[in-house]
């Protein structure tokens, strides 16, 4: 037997194609098939480090988890991490290649096709089914000439396409019709089905529209998925606009996350959201902050510019005042760097800002350099083993009034001894380079119980929620939702006809 394939493309970003690809990965894995996700080019600030030290996009990570396999950089050979409105860091097969502006990358990207195809073909040779994902919209007619991620990739893989449309945004039929009709005829013929996503209400009211769009485009609507509360990692920062801004007063612990302009790896917060006594909210303005029990400064792709923005909008002072009033502050990666006394970027590695004072909540000093640290790590913090991953450019030195947060004991499966992060003298400010720090349930519950005790509340016990078990439950829910609302016989037919 040869390999089968299917590709999900969207009428726009955030249509839900990543989720639906994950659903199909889990459904096929449950059927005993060897299935792997693939996205030739990803643009995201949420990334992950594999066990080989390679950097890749988070969407293919959770799709791999749904398929019950380990993330592999071949699943996402090209990753673009925007550092400014015009420039991106170009990562090829998990390693930094260069920083490029949009025009330069547009001309350069055809040179990446051999590496993309090698990644795809070697992965396909090891699996029964390949589940591909596009990016944004395939109808970006100004960019289609050198496309390597939507119909360009579908052609290279000779994969059939299912078009995903987000009805929650409005104008769903116009977006479906416009997307298809803006494509060349040969690309239109590659589309084998339409799935309407995020529907609310009575599906029977949608049927006349479905029949009309099928007649107009010649493509069948094979499913209508309802809006759901399934909780899976988000990759696109567009999703942050849907995150809560207000405190849930029914929860004992108020966690405020600073919504940085260049926020990265906001998936670090996922494990806090599932704690039974925690309310998580995202803060954009100084007046929204108040005095949270736990204040988190997340990662940033451009630490200096985000720090400058915090000073300008008043959040820098608000964070300092919140700490003075009793908030515990945790900074992760770029957030850790922001908490220090000084940031130095003499070579302009990250931004034109060569030197800037930090918030001064930690006695640390950061110097940016070209070498990028990308490792999975195992560390120890007192009696707690901590697992996470590092993605950062720069080194941070501790002053006399800071102690290391943890001791790294292993990176990428090999023994290594070095210090990570910093803690202030009274333990109320913590900085670490370890992404995924809250995925460690015993340490996380220790921190939360410390907050509860300070508030006069009894510690919680037996609540060490496993993020991996929680995610697995969500993948199963997603698979059921898909199977119940999509014509599975039609999907089976599309896969069978794709076999090569």
Mode of pairing for the β-strands spanning 87-92 and 95-101: antiparallel
What span, in angstroms and rounded, lies between the C-alpha atoms of 58 and 53? 14
What span, in angstroms and rounded, lies between the C-alpha atoms of 498 and 160? 7
Continuous segment of H or E residues that includes residue 470: helix 467-485
Terminal Cα-to-Cα distance of the chain (whole angstroms)? 8
Q: From residue 222, how far is each of 164, 169, 194, 195 by CA, in Å?
A: 10, 20, 6, 6
Question: What residues form DSSP beta bridges with 425?
Answer: none
Q: From residue 248, how far is each of 251, 293, 457 by CA, in Å?
A: 6, 13, 17
- Residue 27 gets the label, from left (phi > 0), alpha (psi -120 to 50) or beta, of alpha
Which tokens go with 455? Answer: 């508030």
Instruction: Indicate the length of the chain as a whole number.
Output: 500
Catalytic positions, written as ranges: 333, 435
Which tokens go with 473? Answer: 């439950």
Question: What residues form DSSP beta bridges with 365?
Answer: 342, 397
What single string gives the DSSP state of each residue in 410-466? EETTEEEEEEE-EEETTS-EEEES-BTGGG-HHHHHHHHHHHHHHTTPPPP-S----
What is the side-by-side order of every strand in the sheet holding 95-101?
A: 41-43, 78-82, 87-92, 95-101
Mode of pairing for the β-strands spanning 406-411 and 414-420: antiparallel
What span, in angstroms and rounded, lies between the C-alpha atoms of 358 and 449? 29
Q: How many CB atoms lie within 10 A of CB 312?
A: 9
- What values do phi and psi take at 156, rounded to 5? -60, -35
- The number of CA neighbours under 13 Å toward the Cβ of 206 is 22
């Amino acid at each position: 037997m040869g390999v089968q394939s299917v590709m999900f493309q969207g009428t726009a970003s955030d249509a839900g194609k990543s989720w639906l690809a994950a659903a199909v990965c889990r459904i096929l894995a449950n059927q005993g098939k060897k299935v792997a996700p693939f996205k030739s080019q990803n643009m995201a600030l949420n990334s992950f480090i594999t066990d080989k030290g390679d950097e890749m996009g988070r969407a293919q990570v959770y799709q791999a988890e749904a398929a019950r396999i380990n993330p592999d950089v071949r699943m996402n050979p090209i990753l673009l991490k925007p550092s400014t409105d015009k420039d991106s860091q170009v990562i090829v097969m998990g390693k930094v290649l260069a920083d490029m502006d949009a025009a330069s990358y547009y001309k350069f990207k055809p040179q990446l096709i051999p590496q993309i195809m090698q990644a795809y073909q070697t992965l396909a040779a090891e699996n029964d089914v390949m589940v591909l994902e596009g990016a944004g919209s395939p109808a970006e007619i100004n960019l289609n000439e050198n496309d390597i991620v939507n119909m360009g990739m579908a052609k290279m893989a000779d994969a059939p396409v299912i078009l995903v449309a987000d009805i929650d945004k409005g104008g769903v039929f116009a977006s479906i019709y416009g997307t298809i009709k803006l494509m060349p005829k040969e690309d239109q013929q590659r589309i084998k089905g339409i799935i309407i996503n995020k529907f609310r209400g009575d599906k029977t009211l949608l049927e006349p529209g479905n029949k009309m769009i099928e007649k107009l485009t010649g493509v069948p609507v094979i499913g209508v998925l309802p809006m759901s509360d399934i909780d899976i990692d988000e990759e696109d920062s567009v999703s942050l606009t849907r995150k809560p801004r207000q405190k849930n007063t029914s929860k004992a612990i108020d966690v405020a996350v600073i919504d940085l302009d260049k926020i990265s790896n906001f998936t670090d917060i996922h494990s806090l959201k599932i704690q039974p006594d925690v309310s998580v909210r995202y803060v954009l303005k100084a007046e929204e902050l108040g005095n949270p029990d736990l204040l988190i400064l997340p990662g940033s792709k451009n630490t200096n510019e985000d720090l400058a923005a915090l000073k300008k909008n008043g959040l820098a002072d608000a964070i300092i005042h919140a700490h003075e009033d009793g908030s515990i502050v945790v900074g992760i990666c770029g957030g850790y760097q922001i908490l220090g006394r000084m940031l130095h970027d003499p070579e302009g590695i990250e931004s034109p800002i060569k030197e800037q004072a930090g918030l001064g909540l930690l006695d640390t000093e950061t110097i940016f350099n070209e070498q990028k640290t990308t490792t999975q790590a195992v560390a120890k913090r007192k009696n707690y083993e901590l697992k996470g991953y590092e993605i950062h450019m720069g080194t941070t030195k501790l002053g006399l009034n800071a102690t290391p947060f943890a001791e790294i004991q292993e990176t990428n499966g090999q023994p290594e001894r070095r210090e990570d992060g910093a803690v202030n003298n009274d333990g109320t400010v913590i900085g670490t380079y370890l992404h995924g720090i809250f995925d460690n349930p015993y340490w996380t519950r220790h921190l939360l119980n410390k907050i509860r005790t300070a508030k006069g509340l009894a510690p919680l016990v037996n609540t060490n929620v496993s993020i991996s078990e929680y995610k697995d439950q969500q993948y199963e829910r997603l698979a059921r939702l898909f199977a119940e609302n999509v014509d599975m016989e039609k999907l089976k037919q599309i896969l069978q006809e794709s076999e090569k």
